[in-house]
Amino acid sequence: MIDMNEGYALFIKEQNEDLKTDRIREDIKLSLTDKQYSNLKLKAYQAGFENAGDFIQSFVSDLTGWCSNGSDERDLAGQWYERAHGMSKFHCYFRYYLFNHDFHFGEMLEMIEDQDYFDEIYEEYKADAWGLEAQSKTDCIELLKKLVDPETEIEL
């Protein structure tokens, strides 16, 4: 059994290893109006950041819970996500199901490669939808393919 100090040390080691993979992600591009851009830069400067990119990266850290600014910030980013992008009153989105059930990229890749595994997960997803409209199998497979970038190294 790992005690709390060992667990924290492992977490820090994992974060330090992950920091070595920090690079510009070519598939992420932002389309902003002039007003959005100027206001974003202003917010970044007000918060003490040198540029809007660092400001956004800080929020992404809180949203993903990785290298975050603290537990309160992670909680608030999570609340924002749930309110803005969680399940709707009418639809149950597969991406929400994957996130809510802590599927990692290795499992998503397995769903793409193993039809029986995907079918099992898809049936669980539909059961979890509680009468809401679920996405089609085709849409779910397409989402998995978008999420699992073949250029990204996947930890299985």
Is 11 domain-assigned?
no
E-strand spans in 46-107? Answer: 91-92
Domain identity same for 96 and 78: no
Question: 57 and 95: one domain?
Answer: no
**Do 58 and 95 lie in a common domain?**
no
State the pTM of this model: 0.57
Q: Which of helix, strand or coil describes residue 152? A: coil
| DSSP helix/strand/coil, 92 | strand
The terminus-to-terminus CA distance of the chain in angstroms comes to 22
Structural domain boundaries enclosing 81:
31-85
Same domain, 76 and 108: no
Are the C-beta atoms of residues 94 and 142 closer than 8 Å to each other?
Answer: no
Give the tokens for residue 154. 């996947």
Provide the residue-wise pLDDT of the chain in tens; the chain has 156 residues.
667 788 778 888 888 898 899 888 888 889 999 999 999 999 999 999 999 999 999 999 898 887 778 888 888 988 887 777 765 566 688 988 898 898 998 999 999 999 999 999 999 999 988 878 889 999 999 999 988 875 555 444
**CB 98, CB 125: distance < 8 Å:** no
Q: Is residue 16 part of a domain?
A: no
Alpha carbon distance 81, 135 (integer Å): 20
Residue 65 region by backbone torsions, left for phi larger than 0, else alpha for psi between -120 and 50, else beta? left
98 and 133 belong to one structural domain: yes
Q: With DSSP H G I counted as helix, E B as strand and the rest as coil, what are the percentages for the chain, rounded to 5?
A: 65, 5, 35
The answer to whether the CB of 6 falls within 8 A of the CB of 128 is: no
